[in-house]
A and B are shown apart, each in its own frame.
Chain A
Amino acid sequence: MKPAPFAWHPAGSVEEAVSVLSADEDAKLLAGGQSLLPLLSLRLARPTTLVDLEDAGLGVLEIADGDRAQPAASGDSRVLVAGAMVRQRRLELDPLVAATVPLLADAARHVGFPATRNRGTLGGSLAHADPVAELPAVAVALDATVVATGPRGERRLAASALADGFFATTLEPAEVLTAVRFPAAGPGHGAAWCEWSPRLHDFPDAGVGVAVELDGTGALRWVGAAACGIGGGPLPLGDELAATAAGATEATPGLLRAAAGAVTAAARGAGDGRDELCGLLAARALAQAFRRAQDRQVAS
């Protein structure tokens, strides 16, 4: 028997989960369990109660109207609402995700293995806040909104305000992350996730996600980007890439070189040459995102 004893509490609703968490500060949430079970088995985590969110109604995946008058990320004003319990495998394979938030689908296929993606969830990944995790960086790159419910009701926060250093978030102890709202891709949208891991599908040393949107003339009008593996949480890179790539119509060698330089400078301080690795990955992701955006424009 590897984990220390705990009580399993399947919650039938988010409210029920919140009330269990409120009553017991050593209770923890169980989403997909693909990071938590190893921690339990190693006894690095010893919760009194595991509140299972499986049946709490957090499996929604649908398009909804956006909440911002002028979403920064997109020429489309809608959002993809993904419930916290949506499996990573579904993010990878569901055509709705590929069509509306292609960066999410592209990154999801790098998370763990098919066997862990069948269980692992979007919300679990964001709440666990592993600094090398892909999905928190995707949420930051796209300026997504995180929805959380606690004892005082529901609130929304920017994905960039969720991370709080290594394996830590700004969620309150009794709050449940319920959904993530991703801006939907507009017509000139293209995205790519690139990462480097010494072994296929192992944790990456670093990864970078880039999404771009081209205007009707094919010039870059918006870019969002973020890295994982650099420091304690997702590193936003949108400003660096916008400064080098705004208005560009082609991912020229000069542009890619400038982008790599800007990102390397932003990641400065990451050990083992990871800053330069991050720059290379960003250049590669930018080039792919550009090509996919152009293909999408031709197709539409």
Chain B
Amino acid sequence: MSRPVRLTVNGAPASFDVEDRTTLLDALRDELGLTGTHAGCEQGACGACSVLLDGEIVRSCLLLAVQAGGRTVTTIEAVGSPGRLHPVQEALRRHHGLQCGYCTPGVVLTAIDLLERVADPDEEEVREALAGNLCRCTGYAGLVDAVLAAARDAGPGR
């Protein structure tokens, strides 16, 4: 049995019909074609599927699509563009914060969520914020450097 869901995705109204058991992750990818949200573990452990729900970082594999009805979802597709990267994306590129890129959408959104709340985080705060985002390539040092640099470049009082 499917159910209609209406929500706002990346600033525009979106709707789809899904079974109740469909996760938000699957709905974003399969119903809306937003494949930038990556499916890693699909059980809450890796952070690859992170999106913003009403402006807060959540894991889209730990949410039913029907639970997102009436809410606002932001995915990586709304962040930067190939010609004009978001400062966090630019910093990841400069500091070798990605290799295969599988974890990257989740890392970018998690970093944006951190910098929204803490304009000038120290290394420990960055590590703590990123602790739930698994990366099999970079060894994390580049990720941490990039987020610190993005915060620095943005300067105080962004």
A interface with B by C-beta (< 8 Å): 1-8, 33-34, 37-38, 40-42, 50, 52, 54, 89, 112-116, 118-119, 199-201
Instruction: State how many angstroms separate the Cβ of B68 from the closest Cβ of chain A.
Output: 11
- Besides A5-B21, A52-B67, 15 other A-B contacts (C-beta < 8 A): A8-B3, A33-B62, A37-B44, A38-B62, A50-B64, A113-B132, A114-B110, A114-B129, A115-B47, A115-B132, A118-B56, A119-B63, A199-B131, A200-B131, A201-B128
Interface centre among B3, B42, B44, B63 (most CB of A within 10 A): B44
Q: Which of B42, B53, B57, B63 contacts A114 (CB under 8 A)?
A: B57
Q: Is B22 an interface residue (CB 8 A)?
A: yes
Interface centre among A6, A7, A8 (most CB of B within 10 A): A8
In the assembled complex, the Cα of A3 lies from the Cα of B18 at a distance in Å of 13
Known: A116-B132, A201-B131. A33 touches B113 (CB 8 A): no
- Total A-B pairs, Cβ < 8 A: 88
Task: Please report which residues of chain B, range 4-62, place their CB below 8 angstroms from some CB of chain A when the two chains form the complex.
Answer: 19-23, 26, 42-44, 47, 50, 53, 56-59, 61-62
Query: B21 — which chain A residues lie within 8 A by C-beta?
Result: 1-6, 40
In the assembled complex, the Cα of A52 lies from the Cα of B20 at a distance in Å of 12
Instruction: State how many angstroms separate the Cβ of B34 from the closest Cβ of chain A.
Output: 18
Q: Are B23 and A37 in contact (CB under 8 A)?
A: yes
Q: Is B1 an interface residue (CB 8 A)?
A: yes
Q: Are A119 and B62 in contact (CB under 8 A)?
A: yes
Question: What secondary structure prevails in chain B residues at the interface with A?
Answer: mixed
Query: A34 — which chain B residues lie within 8 A by C-beta?
Result: 44, 59, 62
Q: Are B132 and A112 in contact (CB under 8 A)?
A: yes
Smallest CB gap from B56: residue in A: A118
In the assembled complex, the Cα of A116 lies from the Cα of B21 at a distance in Å of 19
In the assembled complex, the Cα of A199 lies from the Cα of B1 at a distance in Å of 41
Q: Is B148 an interface residue (CB 8 A)?
A: no
